[in-house]
Amino acid sequence: MALRYIPISTPVAEQLRQGGKDAYGNLPERQISDGDGVPCRHCLRNVDAGEAFLIFSMRPFTSLQPYAETGPVFMHADNCPAYDEAVRPPILASGKDFLLRGYGSDERIVYGTGSVVPADEVETRAQELLAMADVASVHVRSARCNCYQCRIEAA
């Protein structure tokens, strides 16, 4: 099964870069990367040392409901292209392991789908989850901090 890696949309990225408010109604914070562990959720690449990035809260769901988690994420402060490739994004190759969870079309967790997997098994586990009839998408999160990385869907 071919996979699609879904980043923050370009309109949302631009809105935040132009001073729009995050999921908690706050302005994004601007920082300078030290080059260590600053994954951009728009281009799905790491922010290099010396580059500016934004920190903001994100809720990667379209509806407010009990499973709609919100948390901190990073993004390049300056324009970067939205990730649009069919291979595992760089931010998912730079970590040791990730938490994957399946979500139904109602954006609620499908129980029994959550597991921490090594980075080199992300695609295989995502394919297994997406092959389940009740799983519409997979969220990838940091196994250490639970920060949202991206969404995976069947291509």
- The model's pLDDT over 110-148, given as tens digits with 9 standing for 90+, comes to 999 999 999 999 999 999 999 999 999 999 999 988 999
Helix (H) or strand (E) holding 122: helix 122-130
- The model's pLDDT over 83-117, given as tens digits with 9 standing for 90+, comes to 998 899 999 988 899 999 999 999 999 999 999 99
Q: Give Cβ neighbours of residue 42 (< 8 Å, ≥ 6 apart).
A: 7, 8, 10, 13, 75, 76, 80, 82, 83
Instruction: Indicate whether this model's pTM tops 0.75.
Output: yes
d(CA 116, CA 125): 10
d(CA 119, CA 30): 29
Q: Residue 5 to residues 34, 69, 78, 106, 130: CA-CA distances in angstroms?
A: 26, 19, 21, 19, 13
**Which tokens in the block code for residue 18?**
């132009």
